[in-house]
A = this chain, B = another copy of it.
Amino acid sequence: MAAPGPPAGPHPTSPPPTGGARPGGRGVLQRMDKGRIRRIVAVGSGKGGVGKSSVTALLAAELRRRGRTVGILDADITGPSIPKLLGLTGPLTDRGEGIEPAATASGIPVVSSQFMVEDEQTPVIWRGPLVTRLITQFFGGVNWGALDYLLLDMPPGTSDVPLTVFQTIPIDGMVFVLTPQDLAALIVKKAMNMARDLHVPLLGVVENMAYLDCPHCHTRIAAFGPSRVGSVAEQYGIPVLARLPIAPPVSELADAGRLGEYAAPEIAALADAFERAVADVTQGTPTVL
């Protein structure tokens, strides 16, 4: 890894940092080649456990099925989920020309801190500065190749990692995931406000765990309460990209590391809405930060 240097990068129009030193040395950021990645989209929520990683993996797999080239940057350094969901293991390799990502059978390149520890139960115990350094390296130091979409699976919270991502990676927009709980709506709004403050376009919201159809009597159960995604989307003037149910097959496939195999009409609809939203937001704006 390059030694820390002064803030640098290809984005002279970046908004000013809101606090702290700007992470990432010149060497790391100079490797970055956004030219071969068409669209960079963060998937986040502020809150943990709402299904950011599942939505990211399901969306990436669906986009791949329709012929797009898609990569996943697992930005949840201290709580990585993507490798488990997609059945990927490390280690990452670097033959001196940048990090080679792992890849799914369908050809989705993935980087994750999970690939850097000995076994999947080893915690990544790092303080913020190390975490932010790794994020910039995962973006600029990886041989991503040509991609239609790079999806960033964001960690919960509004601290170091989202700050670093927003300040140093030229993302085109952000998708927000919430669940029907009032608390989830509250926390996602914080994340949306943070993104807006940092000039990141809000692409839309996905309601996850929206309902559960009883497998026995087929009644629809509002397990976590009534839907709030409509009012959140309206408040911010952005589209609802999908309402995804609690689906036991999703849990089973996720547990088996085969979540990418889950295809369903609601996932296809999510991919449609996602591509529309990205096109809408990026129209005429080749690089937005």
Binding site for B on A (CB under 8 A): 18-20, 46-50, 53, 77-79, 81, 84-85, 120-131, 155-160, 163, 179-183, 186-187, 189-191, 193-194, 197, 212, 214-217, 219, 221-225, 246, 248, 251-252, 254-255
Contact B122 A79, beta carbon cutoff 8 Å: no
Determine chain A's interface SS by DSSP, over half rule. loop
Contact A47 B48, beta carbon cutoff 8 Å: yes
Tell me the bound Cα distance from A48 to B155 in angstroms: 9
Chosen A-B contacts, 15 in total, with CB atoms closer than 8 Å, are: A46-B79, A47-B48, A48-B48, A49-B49, A121-B190, A123-B191, A125-B163, A127-B128, A127-B163, A128-B159, A156-B156, A180-B251, A182-B255, A217-B219, A223-B246
* Interchain nearest-CB distance for A127 vs B (Å): 4
* Interchain nearest-CB distance for A27 vs B (Å): 22
Question: Given the interface contacts A125-B18, A125-B163, A222-B248, does A186 sit within 8 Å of B120 by beta carbon?
Answer: yes
**Residues of B close to A193: CB separation below 8 A:** 121-123
Question: Given the interface contacts A212-B212, A214-B214, does A79 sit within 8 Å of B47 by beta carbon?
Answer: yes
Tell me the bound Cα distance from A121 to B182 in angstroms: 12
**Residues of B close to A186: CB separation below 8 A:** 84, 120-121
Contact A187 B79, beta carbon cutoff 8 Å: yes
Question: Given the interface contacts A128-B129, A219-B217, does A181 sit within 8 Å of B225 by beta carbon?
Answer: no
Q: Which residue, of A77, A78, A215, A224, has the highest number of chain B Cβ atoms within 10 A? A: A78
Tell me the bound Cα distance from A180 to B255 in angstroms: 10
From the candidates B128, B183, B219, name the one contacting A85 in the complex (CB within 8 A): B183
Tell me the bound Cα distance from A20 to B129 in angstroms: 9
From the candidates B155, B221, B251, name the one contacting A215 in the complex (CB within 8 A): B221
* Interchain nearest-CB distance for A72 vs B (Å): 15
From the candidates B81, B125, B160, name the one contacting A19 in the complex (CB within 8 A): B125
The 7 closest A-B pairs by CB, nearest first: A48-B48, A49-B49, A128-B128, A217-B217, A182-B255, A123-B190, A78-B157
From the candidates B130, B189, B194, B217, name the one contacting A125 in the complex (CB within 8 A): B194
* Interchain nearest-CB distance for A43 vs B (Å): 14
* Interchain nearest-CB distance for A83 vs B (Å): 10
Closest to A217 in B: B217
Contact A157 B155, beta carbon cutoff 8 Å: yes
* Interchain nearest-CB distance for A271 vs B (Å): 23
Question: Given the interface contacts A48-B47, A48-B49, A248-B222, does A159 sit within 8 Å of B214 by beta carbon?
Answer: no
